[in-house]
Chain A
Amino acid sequence: MSAHLDALEAHSIFILREAFHALERPALLWSLGKDSNVLIWLARKAFLGEIPFPVAHLDTGLEFPEVYAFRARYSTEWGLRLIDNACPPLEETDPSLPPGARIAQRKSLGLAQALERHGFDGLITGIRRDEQATRAKERVFSPRALDGSWLATDQPPEFWDHLVAPRAPGLHVRVHPLLAWTEIDVWRYIARENIPVCPLYFARDGQRFRSLGEQGITLPVASEADTIEAIIAELEATRTPERAGRTMDHESEDAFERLRSGGYL
C-alpha cells in the first residue's frame, strides 16, 4: 500500500463528491484513455458502486478500433450511462488552425454541442497538471463560458480545499479530480487496483501509445514496455514528454493554448 496513492485517491474522491453536491447536471467525460478510466474507477468508489450521472464520449469517429472495443466492453461491465456524442465534421472547425489542431477542435465543438443538448452544468474530466504546461495553471473547479472559453487570468481563488461552483447562466464548471496526479501516479494506481486499460498502451513491435488520441494525429513512441510494470520502469527513466505523440500540441507554439482558451480540455 502506498500512502501517496491513498492520499491522491482520497482527495480525488473528495473532489468528485463535492462536484456531485455542487452541480445539478454533471457529466463525466470519458476519453477512453487511461486517465479517464482511473476517473471512472474513482467515481465508482466515491458513489458507492454506482455513478449517479452520465458518462459522455466525444466521438470523432476516428478512434482506433481497439478503443471502440474497449468502450463497448466496459460501458456495460461498469454499468455506465453512456452518452455517445458525435462531434461536428471538420468543415465546421477554424481553418486558420494547423491540421492536427483542427481535428482536435472537432472535440471542442462536440463538447459545446453536448453541453447545449444535455444542459450539463459541469463536466468532470481527467486532465492532470503535469501533462501539459497550460494545464498546470488549472483550478480543481474551473468556471467556463458556454462556448468553453477559459479566462486563465481571472480565475477565482481556490484554497483549503473549498471548491465553489459559480452559478450563472451560460457558465459551466470543469471539474478536475486528477489535477494533482502525475503520469507515473496514474500507472502505479492502475497497477495497484488492476484497472483495465486499452491494449494500445502496451508495446507491440517496438512501439506503444503513451497518450491516446485520434487516428492520424496520435503517433506511437518507441518502446518495449509490454506490461504495466515495464511502463512504470520506462517512465521512471524517460525524459520524453507524455504528449510527444500528440501532433496538435507541437504544430505551432501557441496551438494548444488557443485550443484550450477555445474550450478544449
Chain B
Amino acid sequence: MSLGAPPLGIVIVGHVDHGKSTLIGRLLLDTGAVDAGQLARLEQAAQRRGEPLELAWLLDALQVERDQGITVDTSRIWFRSSLRPYVIIDAPGHSEFLRNMVSGASGAAAAVLLVDAAQGVGEQTRRHSELLVLLGVRQLIVAINKMDLVGHDEARFEALKAETGAMLAGLGITPAATLPLAARDGANLVLRSEALGWYRGPTLVEALDALSLPVASDAPLRLPVQDVYRRAGARWAVGRVDSGDIKVGDRLRILPTNQLAVVAELDVAGQRREAACAGAAVAVRFGNEVLLARGQLMVPESHDAMLADHLRLSAFWLDSEPLRVKDRVQLRVHAAQVAATVLSIDAASGSGEEVGPGGFADVVLRLAQPLACDPGRTAAPTGRAVLLRRDRICGGGLVLEGERRTAAATGRAMLAPDGTGLQAIEPEPGRVLWLFGLSGAGKSTIARTVKQLLADLGREAVVLDGDMLRLGLNSDLGFSEADRSENVRRTAQIAALLSRQGLDVVVAVITPSAAMRGLARDILGSAARFIWVRASLETCARRDPKGLYARASAGTLSGFTGLSAPFEAPLDADMIIDTDVLAPEAAAAAALASL
C-alpha cells in the first residue's frame, strides 16, 4: 500500500432507496475504515433513540437528514483496500437534490451505479448515468444490490445485467464490471458470499482495485489566465495549467486577443522554475508587452483552439426555473465568462422551447464576445461550459460545436514581426445613436428599448440620458444657450470615448439647435446616426412624464424647450421617428435599423 498516493475518487449513484448509504456504511465497516469515535457516537445516538444502529447513519451526519430520512448533500468518506486509498463521494438519490450529485460526481474518477435487484432499473438510474457521461465520469461499475431480496437468483442478476448493459451502451459506456451484491449482509463487497456462490467475477473492492487511475492527457498547452498580479513593477499572469506544459522561452499565443508572447519567467507554487506541467499553479511573466486579462487563454503559438461566438452544448439543467429560448445567461468556459443568449433548445423530452430542472438538452447559444475553447474535447476544461443566472450556477454542458459567425476582426492585434515589441489592440468601434427631440417625445424610452434589443442580440450598449447626466457630470450646467452647448459637447465626447472602446452608445438629449447637432456630429464622425424623435407639442405636454410642461405653463420654469426656448425643427436628421404614431418597440426597431 502506498501511503502517499492520492485517493481514487468514486461516486456511488442510483435511485433513491436502492441502498447507497447502506452499501457505503457496510464498505466502511468491512474495510475497517470507520473510526472508533464515529461508531461510538452513532451507537450512543441509536441507544438514546431506542433504535438499532443503522449503517446509513454513518453518512447522515446532519440532523436534518436524520429527521427526513434522506441523505441531503455530498459527503466524503475515506477507506482503503489492500491496494490503495479511496474517497467515496456520496451522492444522494433524491431527485430534488441533483445539484448535489453533480457537485460530488464531477470530482470522481469512477462511479458505482447501484441497481435494486427487486425493483430493476429506475428512472433515476438512467438520469444519473446520463449525468455521469456529461460530467466526464467514464469508468463505471454496475452493482446489482439487494440480491437477498430476490433469493440470490442468478437469472434475475443476468437479466438486470443485460438491461443495464443495453441502457449504458446507448450512452456510449461499457461498464468495467457488473456484479451482484447484498450490501446489508456484506455479501460480495470485500468478502465472497456462499449465497452468491454461482458468481465467479470480482467482488466490489476487487472491481474498484482493477480500475485504472486517471492518466494525464497529451493535449497541447491550455493555460487560462485566472488573474493578473503586479509585483515590483512587473505583471504576472496567474493560472493553472489545464493541459500540456510550459517552459521559459516558449512562444505562446494569447486568445482571444491573438497576441504572441514569450515566456520570460515562471513561478510554480511560489518557486522560480524552468518548466511546469499540467495541474501546476503558475505565474507567468512575459518578455514582451502584452495586454493581459482574466479569461484569456494561453496556447502554443501554432494553436488549434477555437475562437467561437456560437456554441452548441450537450447540457444539463439544475435550476428550478427552466432555461428557455431567448433567455440571457452568463456562460463560463475556464476563466472566461461572457453574456450569452439562448437561440434554441432541443430537449430530449418536453416542448423543445425549454429545459427544466434535472433535464437534458442540446442548447445553442450566441455569445456577446468570442471566447477560446476546444469543442469536442469533452474531457478538457476548455471543452466544458457552465451556465449561470444571477451569480448562481444553474447548469452545465459539454461543448459539442463552436462557430465564429461575426466578422473575425472584432479586435486587431498589431504584432511585431518577431513576436516582441509593443502590441496594441484596437476593438472595432461601437455605434452611436443620437436621439434628440422635445422633452416627453419618448427619447429615453426608445433608448432603453434599443439597449434591450441590442442585449438580445448579445451586444452591450450604454445609454447616455441627458437628464441623468445633468444629475452628475453636468450638474454645473444650466439651460442657457452656452450651457446647453457644453452639455451636448461633453455628452458627445463621452459617447466617442465609449464607442472607441467597442461599446454601442445610445444618447437621449434634447439637442435643440442645428448648431449643437453639428457640434456633436463633428465629435462623433460619420458613424453616428442622428434621429429626431418627434411628437407634437400637445402629445408631449399630455405625456409630461416629469411634470415640466405643467411647470413651464404655470410660468415657474423658464428656458423650457418648445414653450419658452426654441427647438429648431431639423433638416439634418438621418431619420425621423414619429412617436405620435409608433409604439416604443417599433420606434426602437426603426432606430436600430438606421445603423
Measured between beta carbons, the chain B residues less than 8 angstroms from A134 are 61-62
B interface, size bucket: 35 or more
Asked if A45 and B61 sit within 8 Å, CB to CB, the answer is: no
Chain A 223-257: CB-based contact to B (< 8 A → 1; otherwise 0): 00000000000001001110010000010011001
Given contacts A47-B229, A159-B386, contact A152 B72 (CB under 8 A): yes
Find out whether the CB atom of A157 lies under 8 angstroms from the CB atom of B48: no
Q: B168 at interface (Cβ–Cβ under 8 A)?
A: no
Tell whether A137 pairs with B73 under 8 Å between CB atoms, given A4-B6, A13-B281, A240-B35.
yes
Residues of chain A in range 1-42 having any CB-CB distance to chain B below 8 Å: 2-7, 9-11, 13-14, 17-18, 20-21
Give 21 CB contacts A-B under 8 Å: A9-B269, A14-B281, A48-B236, A130-B76, A130-B78, A133-B38, A137-B62, A152-B62, A153-B73, A155-B73, A157-B103, A159-B102, A160-B135, A160-B381, A164-B388, A166-B391, A239-B36, A240-B35, A240-B37, A241-B38, A253-B44
The answer to whether A7 and B78 touch across the interface, beta carbons within 8 angstroms, is no
Choice from B75, B102, B270, B396 contacting A133 with Cβ under 8 Å? B75
Q: Which of A3, A157, A159, A161 has the most CB of B within 10 A?
A: A157
B449 CB contacts on chain A under 8 angstroms: none
CA distance A2 to B318 in the complex (A): 37
Q: How far is the CA of A210 from the CA of B388 in the complex (A)?
A: 41
B279 in the interface (beta carbon within 8 A) = yes
A157 touches B280 (CB 8 A): no
Q: Is the CB of A159 within 8 A of B396?
A: yes
Please, which residue of chain A has its CB at the minimum distance from the CB of B61? A133
Residues of chain B with a CB closer than 8 A to A49's CB:
231, 270
Q: B74's contact among A14, A137, A156, by CB below 8 Å, is which?
A: A137
Is the pair B4, A2 in contact by a Cβ cutoff of 8 Å?
A: yes
Is the CB–CB distance between A14 and B76 below 8 Å?
no
For window 97-135 of B, CB contacts with A under 8 Å fall at: 99-100, 102-103, 105-107, 135
Q: Which residues of B contact A (CB under 8 A)?
A: 3-6, 35-38, 41, 44-45, 48, 61-64, 72-78, 99-100, 102-103, 105-107, 135, 226-227, 229, 231, 236, 238-240, 267, 269-270, 279-281, 283, 294, 318, 332, 381, 384, 386, 388, 390-393, 396
Q: Is the CB of A137 within 8 A of B72?
A: yes
Q: For residue A153, which residues in chain B have a CB less than 8 angstroms away from its CB? A: 64, 72-73
Residues of A within 8 A of B (CB): 2-7, 9-11, 13-14, 17-18, 20-21, 44-50, 129-130, 133-134, 136-137, 139, 152-153, 155-162, 164-168, 182, 188, 236, 239-241, 244, 250, 253-254, 257
* Chain B residues, CB < 8 A from A130: 76, 78
With A134-B61, A164-B392: A10-B100 Cβ-Cβ less than 8 Å = no
Residue of B nearest to A232 (CB): B3
Cβ contact within 8 Å between A3 and B267: no
Contact A14 B226 (CB under 8 A): yes
CA distance A137 to B35 in the complex (A): 18
Q: Find the B residue at minimum CB distance from A254.
A: B63
Additional A-B contact list (11), CB under 8 Å, known A164-B391, A165-B391, A253-B44: A4-B4, A6-B280, A10-B279, A14-B226, A44-B270, A46-B270, A133-B38, A137-B62, A152-B64, A160-B135, A257-B63
Of B35, B72, B236, the residue contacting A239 (CB under 8 A) is: B35
- A contact residues around B229 at 8 Å (CB): 47-48
A148 to chain B, nearest CB (A): 17
CB pair A156–B99 under 8 Å, yes or no, is: yes
A21 B332 Cβ-Cβ under 8 A: no
Q: Are B386 and A160 in contact, with the CB atoms below 8 A?
A: yes
**A9/B72 contact (C-beta < 8 A), A137-B62, A152-B64 known:** no
Task: List B contacts of A156 (CB < 8 A).
Answer: 99, 392-393
CB of B270 within 8 A of CB of A45, answer yes
Name the A residues within 8 Å of B236 (CB-CB): 48
A188 contact set on B, CB distance < 8 A: 4
Known: A46-B281, A130-B76, A153-B72. A21 touches B227 (CB 8 A): yes
- Tell me, in angstroms, the Cα distance from A45 to B268 when the chains sit together: 9
Contacts A6-B279, A48-B283 hold; do A21 and B393 have CB atoms under 8 A apart? no
List residues of chain B with CB within 8 A of the CB of A250.
41
CB distance from A159 to the nearest CB of B (A): 3
Contact of B103 among A21, A139, A164 (CB under 8 A): A139
